[in-house]
Structure 1
Amino acid sequence: MPAGPSPRRGAPWFALAALLCLFILQFIGALLPNGPLLCAATAGGLALDLSLRHWQPGLLTVMTRLHGDEAVRQLLRDLLIVIGLAHLSGIDTVPRLVLVGGLLACYAAHFACRALGVVVRRTRTLPIVTRNIDTSALRLSPAPPRPLIRPGRRMPLFAVPGTTGLMATVLTDSAGWGLLGVGVSLALFAGSAAYLATWLLPGKRPPDEQRMLAWFRDWLAEYRPEVGIYFSGGNGTAYQANMWLSTLAALDGNAVVVLRERGMVQQIAATDVPIVCLPRVAHLMLLEQSSLKMLLHPANAPKTSQILRVPSIKHAFTNHGESDKLSSCNPYAKVYDQVWVAGPAARKRYALADVGVDDRDVVEVGRPQLAPIRPYAGPPDPAGPVSVLYAPTWEGWTDAPGNTSVLLAGENIVRALLADPRVRLLYKPHPMTGTVNPRAGEADARIRALIARANATPRRPADAERGAVTVPTGRGTRGTPPRAARAPLAAELARRTAELNELTARAFRPGADEVERMIRQTAPPPGRAEAVAAATEAWRTAFWAAQPARAHLILTGSRPDIYSCFNQADLLISDVSSVVADYLASTKPYAVVNTSGLSEADFHAANPTTRAATVLGPDAHGIPALLDGVLDPAQDAFAAERTRLKEYLLGPSQPSSRVRFQQAVHALCAAADARRARQARLAGGGTELPIPRSTGHPASR
């Protein structure tokens, strides 16, 4: 059953109604006239406006889009109190005009500050954004305080003294209070405008475009990058590049990450590799004169064609995972110099797809990032739970029925697993679930609700509080420790989380902009990468140890990572996706859900990654037998086939994938060097003809 509606859903409507009612009461108080009613409604409206910044910021965004922003609301509030002041007080005309003039000056200073804020933001929008690079030579300055640059925070806050003074004048018939309050507000507005203007002075103004580009050229000449990752994408796609960061960092030679979207700079995971964001094509072309020899492309994007214009750089398409989906053999791949795949399966996939990728340009490099996945160590302990990882993929851009099992089979699968007392469910949905089809997001929410209810209802009385000792094993912990014993484990997890956050978190003060973040994200100290790796491994150990062994888990976000989940799982249930191919590195049992409408035979034929898998239909029939095979190897009919399929999908174990990947990098860099040498000879008057078409990397044959 879906969860009931949240009581917080009506909060925005209640807040909007309350704000409108207070304006109406203020209007009535001004016309009657009624001083206490006018002041009470004014104070209530101002207090509600200030509290909405923390309580309902989304409502303020909607009102701003409807041209009811903070300045309009405050202007209406002040106008009504001035009307009331004219009706209620016996103040002379001159003081009254001074009060109105002071209010107008406050608004003039506010809009001047607002205009300055736009100018300052534009000057602080740099042509190049970096991370992990020393920018001290640029002499960048921190961002202005948040209230100065955000008018939505400045206007109601700075208006409090003026509005309070006017209310006091209404109640006391003394113009002094109003003049004092308006004077304080005017000083705040004018002072903020003057202070913000200092960011346009040479001492705080960021470098202009020419100086910034000169600095970047100098950095390229000094650092001399050779290999990098090129990535362009929207929110939620950074995982496609993040999965290659460890591989990039382990390569010989200087590496770099090249991005195109400013927002992506902070979405890239913790790494010591320098990161540069080049939003404009003209600045991207600076890489042509650099030492960069090759770029890895984990995804196709519209902006990919822009970097392909640089002939001095070789390009290899690595993709962000391999599966039997059509997207794993996209025709766009033929624009790259080479297509790097894991093993023979992908090579055959491209050949069968006939999308224009020459087989000579396909290079088998394995999947070097799968090294942390532990191999199969035998069946799980019959006394402990069977850890089942359900990791469905998302609905995809085409939203085809067979893309994700969440829509048609997810709830049935989860119900069947939760009903089996042998199972401990680890549910890790794809981060983009529901982004194309809202129904997939709704199904995901229902699955989470099922798991939450199952955890709230112990399957047997002993599960609520067991006295078993927690024993570390190759798959994590077996047995559920009592609550008292889990307290130290939770404390250890908190300690490890704080330690890892200190090394990797990018916590910035409110109001920090990209320039200030560049100041703080300078070149990392020596040894930070090793410290992060050690802290990450310690966090994984602490996380799994701290979880009740029989509790079902919903795992979202970047921690724990999918490979850590693989190591905890005894069985994977997934869809046709790269998760299946990666999981086969462990050779542990797995199942694939068929919601495509194909028969089982046709499904196997169309998707070679399912060749060693149990196929589940939308009704999830067969899960009990699947679990029997996990617990009893004698009933596991696919054990030998998984070993063969692993090599077919991921390539041979020797030489290791990391070695093969490094060899492919060296070969493509050598090809880039050879081209540059030929171009230099031709430019010098040589008669050598350009090299014929590449025959590919020797390892690909």
Structure 2
Amino acid sequence: MPSAGIAPRRVVQLAALLAMMVFFTTQLVGALLPNVPLLIIASAAGLALDLYLQHKQPGLLSLLSKIRFDVTVRQLLRDMMIMVGLLRIDGIDPTHVQAPLTVGLLLFYIAHFVCQAVAVLVKRRRLLPFVTRNIDASALHLSTAPPRLLARQPARRLLRFAIPATAGLLATAATKDAVWGWIGLGIALVLSLSGVAWLSTWLLTRKRVLDEQQALEWLDNWLAEYQPTVGMYFSGGTSSAYQANMWLSTLASLDGNPIIVLRERFMVQKIDATDIPIVCIPKVAHLMRLEHSTLKMLLHPANSGKTSQILRIPSIKHAFTNHGESDKLSSCNPYAKAYDEVWVAGPAARERYQLADIGVEDKDVVEVGRPQLAPITPYTGAPAGEYLQVLYAPTWEGWDGNPGNTSVILAGENIVRALLADPGVRLLYKPHPMTGSVDPRAGLANERIQALIAQANTRRTGARPGPEAAAELARRAEVLEGLTTTSFRPDTDEIERMLLQGTPDSDRAAAVEEATAAWESAYWSSLPEWEHQIITGPRPAIFSCFNHSDLLISDVSSVVSDYLSSAKPYAVANTSGLSEAEFREGFPTVRAAAILAPEADGVPALLDAVRNPEHDPHVADRAELKVHLLGPSDPPSLVRFNQAARDLCAQAEARQARMEARASADLPGLLGGDAADELAAEAGELPPETSGPADAESEETAGV
């Protein structure tokens, strides 16, 4: 349960905060009495606790920083109380011991702040106006990053460098010998000054990247050299990258030179393995430079607040592809009318836009199919194996609170119980990753469903694959991990990643695709055929689950539309409160589905229809609906998609030609007659015999 994980964390944070207050209080008492053992123990324990929290509880320290009790204040308070203790301990001369040590401590803090100032300057110098991947950007003078302890971790740097200073001062308190304090402060001061000196080398020419203007000029030159024609624009949050990743293979297959344009710096590393050049341009002013590039069209898999900024560029045509199609209202967002064209899978989506009446004209809707569905295997008839493989893939609860969005809350447990009651069924449960993120009831129901499945597995027995299957899966996982994960050293920053990811390996995307297929095959082979499975991670992908299932049970979502490409039987849970007739009429994607009520009493008949296709009343309906939702299979979707891209690029070229023609037509009025005629003659737009002064003389003679 979510709350079960939160409560222990809060207990730990409260305990740590209480311990910190106890150590500060005890340290103060030890300094004022004075009690040397108490002062030493409390000071050392407080510093150790702060070091521990830096690694284990950064959230708590962030909260303390918000109330201005940050690490600098805490460490300064500890050091001040140590100095108060030294002042009150008998046998320590305040003039010859305590005062010089105070000056040394002050110098240490000055060195720390100087180091931090240099770190900020280095960070700013290493911040380019854009981020690239799969592009050789070495001409920008990219270099390795400075140690993160010096450049990006001021809190940890202060605490670690303060250890010898604190130890030396406490040793002085114990021995009343100032030498220990000087040694500790000297080491701390040397560490800080060394950090300043080392960081300063990144300000030298050999390690300094180009400034903003030079970098933007480099970007312009790279765009002119690469000459991108088609691209994908994407902006979103940390969990939305899948919306862009699903279009990578399609974009790479289009004619022309593809490019990916991002807006958030973190998103550069969220994009899956691809050979396509990636450019992240956070600022709008810099984004506008694309207007002067050869880029003709952009695909948009999602709407975002920053989409309107790229739409301002008139030289680029924009097509909204969305990241999935369903009967939900989100598939017909009024924002879609801002694009030049809306690309949909088939006639159903075209009709959906017209029925929604949101301002999208029918002429701007283009049917391109769904190229990503090519890996899905088609229906081959009744299940051949011992077990009927049923994929239950409910969607999440959504933002609008509609009870019909997800079946998990009202019907999920009933569906799963009915499936588990059939000994010939093997259940594959793959909930949406956002289940429970809005409605806690969905999260709790999801947990109960997983508990039911785990309990059902304890009642089943059978043969398991041998150790060689697990070894093969581990080997395939290692290969895939090596291809999809770029190992960076801990100190790596944005600039160093640009350097390391400059030129992609040849055909890396194809290698990842092959390795993924091999891993998925090894994954399914490593599992007992009789064992129910709960699949919550990103792998195996939903399409792989499609291919290993004989039946899908889901909700009104894009999962249903995609599954229809296989023409396999499917069922949709109706938790909307509508009658079955109203449900089928309101949601076209369910017209060829078996409809399950929240009680799930129709599951036995559904399983019988899958095992015996002659009992299936929806075979012909699925074939018809498949074409209605996804378009014809000939020509293939990718061919239609590519043609749509070429047509949109042609529109961009035609507009550019019109603009140039208008500029030429307006030029005579701006330049005056003779100058305009000379320019037109040079361009070949006027015949030589009718241009220039000779023409004027001929007209004058003719007039005589």
Q: Deviations over 1:461-485 (max 9, x none)?
A: xx1xx34xxxxxxxxxxxx43xxx1
User: For residues 94 and 9 of structure 1, what CA distance do their matches in structure 2 show?
Assistant: 47
Deviation at 1:684, TM superposition (A): 2.0
User: For residues 438 and 359 of structure 1, what CA distance do their matches in structure 2 show?
Assistant: 40
Deviation at 1:214, TM superposition (A): 0.7
Q: Deviations over 1:48-104 (max 9, x none)?
A: 222223332222222222222221221122222222222235222222112111112
Aligned counterpart, 2:77: 76
Deviation at 1:686, TM superposition (A): 8.1
User: For residues 80 and 224 of structure 1, what CA distance do their matches in structure 2 show?
Assistant: 65
Cα 1:454/1:25, change in 2 over 3 Å: farther
Match among 309, 312, 315 for residue 309 of structure 1 = 312
5 Å-filtered alignment, 1:225-304, equals 225-304=228-307
Match among 402, 405, 418 for residue 404 of structure 2 = 402
Q: Deviations over 1:527-551 (max 9, x none)?
A: 2222222112111111222233333
Deviation at 1:449, TM superposition (A): 4.3
Deviates more, 1:82-91 or 1:93-102: 82-91
Paired letter, 1:535 = A
Q: Residue 173 of structure 2 aligns to a residue in which SS? A: helix
Contact preservation (8 Å) 1:89, 1:170: no
Deviation at 1:400, TM superposition (A): 2.5
Match status 1:151 vs 2:176: no
Aligned counterpart, 1:582: 562
Aligned counterpart, 2:11: 10
User: For residues 618 and 12 of structure 2, what CA distance do their matches in structure 1 show?
Assistant: 54
Aligned counterpart, 2:521: 541
Cα 1:99/1:246, change in 2 over 3 Å: same
User: For residues 652 and 24 of structure 2, what CA distance do their matches in structure 1 show?
Assistant: 69
User: For residues 621 and 346 of structure 1, what CA distance do their matches in structure 2 show?
Assistant: 32
Deviates more, 1:181-190 or 1:424-433: 424-433
Deviation at 1:557, TM superposition (A): 3.8
Q: Residue 273 of structure 1 aligns to a residue in which SS? A: coil
Aligned counterpart, 2:671: none
Paired letter, 1:11 = V
Deviation at 1:450, TM superposition (A): 4.2
User: For residues 410 and 89 of structure 1, what CA distance do their matches in structure 2 show?
Assistant: 75
Q: Residue 353 of structure 2 aligns to a residue in which SS? A: helix
Match status 1:88 vs 2:68: no
Q: Residue 287 of structure 2 aligns to a residue in which SS? A: helix
User: For residues 166 and 621 of structure 2, what CA distance do their matches in structure 1 show?
Assistant: 77
TM-score with structure 1 setting the length: 0.90
Q: Residue 203 of structure 1 aligns to a residue in which SS? A: helix
User: For residues 683 and 54 of structure 1, what CA distance do their matches in structure 2 show?
Assistant: 62
Q: Deviations over 1:356-409 (max 9, x none)?
A: 21112211110011000011122334523x332222222323333222223333
User: For residues 117 and 443 of structure 1, what CA distance do their matches in structure 2 show?
Assistant: 49
Aligned counterpart, 2:346: 343
Deviation at 1:9, TM superposition (A): 4.9
User: For residues 422 and 60 of structure 2, what CA distance do their matches in structure 1 show?
Assistant: 45
Paired letter, 1:637 = P
Q: Deviations over 1:221-244 (max 9, x none)?
A: 111111011111122111111111
TM-score with structure 2 setting the length: 0.90
Q: Deviations over 1:183-235 (max 9, x none)?
A: 11111122212322332232222211111111111111111111011111122
Aligned counterpart, 2:641: 661
Aligned counterpart, 2:698: none
Aligned counterpart, 2:34: 33
Higher CA-based Rg: 2
Q: Deviations over 1:549-601 (max 9, x none)?
A: 33333323432221111111222121111111001111112111222221111
Aligned counterpart, 1:550: 530
Cα 1:289/1:344, change in 2 over 3 Å: same
Deviates more, 1:415-424 or 1:587-596: 415-424
Paired letter, 1:529 = A
Q: Residue 560 of structure 1 aligns to a residue in which SS? A: coil
Deviates more, 1:623-632 or 1:345-354: 623-632
Q: Residue 76 of structure 1 aligns to a residue in which SS? A: helix
User: For residues 562 and 18 of structure 1, what CA distance do their matches in structure 2 show?
Assistant: 48
Q: Deviations over 1:336-357 (max 9, x none)?
A: 1111111111111112112221
User: For residues 19 and 423 of structure 1, what CA distance do their matches in structure 2 show?
Assistant: 56
Q: Residue 205 of structure 2 aligns to a residue in which SS? A: coil
Match status 1:135 vs 2:137: yes
Match among 622, 647, 654 for residue 602 of structure 2 = 622
Match status 1:124 vs 2:104: no
Pairwise CA RMSD of aligned residues? 2.1
Deviates more, 1:179-188 or 1:67-76: 67-76
Deviates more, 1:625-634 or 1:653-662: 625-634
Cα 1:416/1:156, change in 2 over 3 Å: farther
5 Å-filtered alignment, 1:333-482, equals 333-381=336-384, 383-384=386-387, 386-455=388-457, 458-460=458-460, 463=461, 466-467=462-463, 480-481=464-465
Cα 1:680/1:179, change in 2 over 3 Å: same
Aligned counterpart, 1:603: 583
Aligned counterpart, 1:594: 574
User: For residues 450 and 62 of structure 1, what CA distance do their matches in structure 2 show?
Assistant: 40
Contact preservation (8 Å) 1:428, 1:556: yes
Cα 1:2/1:263, change in 2 over 3 Å: closer
Contact preservation (8 Å) 1:3, 1:446: no
Deviation at 1:167, TM superposition (A): 1.7
Paired letter, 1:136 = S
Cα 1:439/1:142, change in 2 over 3 Å: farther
Match among 157, 169, 173 for residue 170 of structure 1 = 173
User: For residues 628 and 23 of structure 1, what CA distance do their matches in structure 2 show?
Assistant: 71
Aligned counterpart, 2:332: 329
Cα 1:379/1:18, change in 2 over 3 Å: farther
User: For residues 533 and 141 of structure 2, what CA distance do their matches in structure 1 show?
Assistant: 47
Q: Deviations over 1:645-688 (max 9, x none)?
A: 1111001111111111111111111222222222222222289x
Match status 1:645 vs 2:621: no
Cα 1:559/1:115, change in 2 over 3 Å: same
Contact preservation (8 Å) 2:299, 2:321: yes
User: For residues 552 and 243 of structure 2, what CA distance do their matches in structure 1 show?
Assistant: 21
User: For residues 318 and 534 of structure 2, what CA distance do their matches in structure 1 show?
Assistant: 38
User: For residues 94 and 500 of structure 1, what CA distance do their matches in structure 2 show?
Assistant: 66
Cα 1:576/1:89, change in 2 over 3 Å: farther
Contact preservation (8 Å) 1:3, 1:449: no
Cα 1:408/1:120, change in 2 over 3 Å: farther
User: For residues 207 and 438 of structure 1, what CA distance do their matches in structure 2 show?
Assistant: 50
Q: Residue 408 of structure 2 aligns to a residue in which SS? A: coil
Contact preservation (8 Å) 1:230, 1:259: yes
User: For residues 357 and 543 of structure 1, what CA distance do their matches in structure 2 show?
Assistant: 44
User: For residues 246 and 496 of structure 2, what CA distance do their matches in structure 1 show?
Assistant: 27
Match among 661, 671, 676 for residue 651 of structure 2 = 671
Contact preservation (8 Å) 2:368, 2:640: yes
Cα 1:57/1:452, change in 2 over 3 Å: farther
User: For residues 2 and 502 of structure 1, what CA distance do their matches in structure 2 show?
Assistant: 33
Deviates more, 1:420-429 or 1:580-589: 420-429
Aligned counterpart, 1:691: none
User: For residues 633 and 90 of structure 2, what CA distance do their matches in structure 1 show?
Assistant: 90
Deviation at 1:7, TM superposition (A): 4.4
Deviation at 1:520, TM superposition (A): 1.2
Deviation at 1:635, TM superposition (A): 2.8
User: For residues 174 and 382 of structure 2, what CA distance do their matches in structure 1 show?
Assistant: 81
Paired letter, 1:521 = Q
